[in-house]
Chains A and B, each alone.
Chain A
Amino acid sequence: MTPVQIKTTQHGRQLDLLHTPVGLRDCVGAEMAQKQTILGRIGDKMRLYGYEQLETPTIEFFDVFSNEVGTTPSRELYKFFDKEGNTLVLRPDFTPSVARVASRYFRGETAPLRFCYRGSAFYNHASDLQGKLRETTQIGAELMNEPSVHADAEMIALLIESLLSTGLQEFRISIGNAEYFRGLCREADLSAEDEAELRDAISRRNYFAAEDLLKSRGYDRSVRDKFLSFADFLENGQELGRLLESAGSERTREALERLISLDGVLREYGVADHVNYDLSLLSKYNYYTGVIFKAYTYGTGEPVAAGGRYDRLLSFFGMNAPAVGAMIAVDPLMEALRRQKIEVSVPEEAQTVSYQAGDDASFRTSLRQAASLRAQGKAAVLIPDAQSEQQEGTACRE
């Protein structure tokens, strides 16, 4: 069905009730059909990799997303109270919820756990006029109890296959390692505040702000160069080897070695062409402890997917397990597909089977016809003949 265009003059005061609050939107018609197709294809890939779908509540306790967990800043959360006075939030991100589920139901389990999810996430963005959605659709996967580089590679390969399944072709996964930056900070013995400020500057690629900060704190040239030289990103995995020679500590060396072996496994998967390496890639989520990645494509200003390794997040919920995950942001992905003019095939529209209104025999014949179409897996709608014209008329007036 195609949505009817509203004639604004007909409605008067009631019109105020028809639009949604800023940053929230309806999804109907062809757009909804495309969204279902995309979610279906990505969901299929996750199923084929053995990921079990789960559902978590939209509303969680505030503490699941608290500052210590290292997710979304408190002021960007929708918060409210229950009758006992507990602070509740609308989830801004699924990963802490899935970690909570794993810790609740699978504590003690040592075999790898694979989960996938889909649903809405909520951000209370400060400004109204930045055109950002406050409810976004996310679909993602988490692999727990697997510390190896093969788990990292599986997640990235799954992400690449998922994006390809939607028809997207030109995209790039930028991969970094959260440990590299932390390693450099330890080498330079940076305070927590300086580290946070530097993280902010570097994640904005604002290298002169980073340099000013280091200069003003009295760090010498060699430290500054180290932070600023890793700024340039790398075309491919081979260039990582070059950096190994200048690695100043065990931590940074291990971070680089991890990326080098990851590149090797991604080659085995045959997806290495879709990735590049970027050591200045940092996440706003502080829970990432190793490999982190973001997917970029044309036609949208924000990443269409993001993820990484979070080996300490589960311990917050009492389960000590390494984990890695990826999330696809469906709204920017759909925007990118639309702008790149990539058709997303949707199931064909239902066939119309009409019958003479008031004529029982005609209804019976048509009903049988519709039933047989439905039995063949084809969509069919029954429509009374005499009313079909009238109906179109009323649809416009209502």
Chain B
Amino acid sequence: MQGITELTIALTKGRLAGRTMELLGRAGYTCEEMADKHSRKLIFRNEEQKLNFFLAKGPDVPTYVEYGAADLGVVGSDVVLEENRRVYEVLDLGFGRCRMCVAGPPEARELLDSGAMLRVATKYPEIARDYFYHRRQQTVELIKLNGSVELGPIVGLSDVIVDIVETGSTLKENGLLVLEDVCDLSARMIVNQVSMQLKARRIREVIGGLREQLEAEGRK
């Protein structure tokens, strides 16, 4: 093989993509095509560094990476846990930090502690199931919602919710509070298993570069 190996990177649409490109930029990997806001391209290329980027919805990023459509992906660890794909999770990028929590009205605490049957509304049924079944050993009824999960306890659909909490202000405004922490979350870099072996040198170089950059920034 001549020259450098080509890499394709799947990014999570939205804020995470922006933060990822900033970090990659500081580590010396750039993509000018992507900075062009008017572009209608789906794949962005850096010819010189042989890098391809594309944007995808969060839950799809691990799918692209698992099937090898992308060598690398950047996505929240909530998605990695929920999707449970066969990918390598190699780096904690440190941004996008938040928590996965059980939240509900204050009176739900008693219900939660009593071990009684609960109704749980969530966008993350796998994470919620794992938490209640395997860590709390509690039987619950899970209700999958696709957004505005906070509504669940307010309108009486569920007793509690399992959701991402950043500042907690949405919860507070709606009379809910964090009852328990499930886990900490942040942006992760994931790698396709095959790429990790076949494009080892290039991928190690990118991961190594990012790790050094993160460590250098962490020391400041």
Contact = CB atoms under 8 A, between A and B. Distances in A.
B200 interface: yes
A172 B201 CA distance: 14
Interface stretch (A32-40, A65-73, A300-308, A362-370): A300-308
Interface stretch (A76-84, A102-110, A200-208): A200-208
Nearest to A299: B68
Interface string A165-176: 000001010100
A276 B197 CA distance: 9
Contact of B68 (A206, A209, A300): A300
Nearest to A129: B63
A131 B62 CA distance: 14
A257 B90 CA distance: 28
A233 to B, nearest CB: 7
Contacts of B86: 301-302
B193 interface: yes
Contacts of A205: 88-90, 191, 196
B187 to A, nearest CB: 12
Interface residues of B, number: 20
Interface in A230-282: 232-233, 235, 276, 278
Nearest to B208: A232
A303 B198 contact: no
A303 B193 contact: yes
B192 interface: yes
A10 B92 CA distance: 55
Instruction: Classify the interface of chain B: helix, strand, loop or mixed.
Output: mixed
Interface in B122-143: none
Contacts of B191: 205
Contact of A301 (B89, B91, B194, B197): B194
A298 interface: yes
A302 B90 CA distance: 18
Contact of A296 (B88, B91, B92, B198): B198
A297 interface: yes
A301 B66 contact: yes
A207 B90 contact: yes
Interface in B83-133: 85-92
A205 B92 CA distance: 12
Interface in A64-119: none
Contact of A204 (B89, B92, B192): B89
Contacts of B91: 208
A393 to B, nearest CB: 41
A297 B89 contact: no
Given A205-B89, A209-B89, A302 B193 contact: yes
Nearest to B83: A130
B181 to A, nearest CB: 14
B198 A172 contact: yes
Interface in A171-202: 172, 174
Contacts of B89: 204-206, 209
B90 A296 contact: no
A174 B196 CA distance: 11
Contact of B197 (A174, A204, A300): A174
Contact of B194 (A207, A232, A300): A300
A153 B201 CA distance: 26
A296 B193 contact: yes
Given A209-B89, A301-B66, A276 B194 contact: no
Contacts of B197: 172, 174, 233, 276, 278, 296
Nearest to A280: B88
Contacts of A174: 197
Interface in B160-212: 191-194, 196-198, 200, 204
The 9 closest A-B pairs by CB, nearest first: A205-B88, A206-B89, A301-B68, A301-B67, A296-B197, A296-B194, A208-B92, A301-B66, A172-B197
16 contacts: A130-B85, A172-B198, A205-B196, A206-B89, A208-B91, A208-B92, A233-B197, A233-B200, A235-B200, A278-B197, A297-B194, A298-B68, A298-B198, A301-B86, A301-B192, A301-B193
